[in-house]
Amino acid sequence: MEFNFETKKNGEELDIILSGNLDANSATPLLEEMKKYIGEKISKITFHAAELNYIASAGLRVIIFTKQKIGYEADVFLKNPNEVVRSVVDMTGLDNFIQIIE
């Protein structure tokens, strides 16, 4: 399934809406988009995953990059991941790094 994303910044909050499969091929455009926010004051980052079907290690790296380079002091959330995405996040320990919300 094709991967799509949309970013919305409202004040100090950044929302990233994800859909499709976030794999090695689709992670690069998302990473480039995230780089645009380096240096901006952002206190909350939410990855909306309700429409995300799958996430590979490259997608996880984008989330880690975002936390480390954009919002190391920000609260970072993964919202509404499906069972497949949630299991990958749990298995890799990323759930200790970001907050999962339903």
pLDDT tens, position by position, 37-62: 999 999 999 999 999 999 999 999 99
Output the pLDDT for position 44: 96
Where in the sequence is the domain holding 77, given as residue range(s)? 4-101
Structure tokens, 18? 């994800």
Q: In the chain, how many domains are there?
A: 1
Give the CATH number for residue 73: 3.30.750.24
Sequential pLDDT tens for the chain (102 residues) = 799 999 999 999 999 999 999 999 999 999 999 999 999 999 999 999 999 999 999 999 999 999 999 977 899 999 999 999 999 999 999 988 899 998
Structure tokens, 80? 């509404």
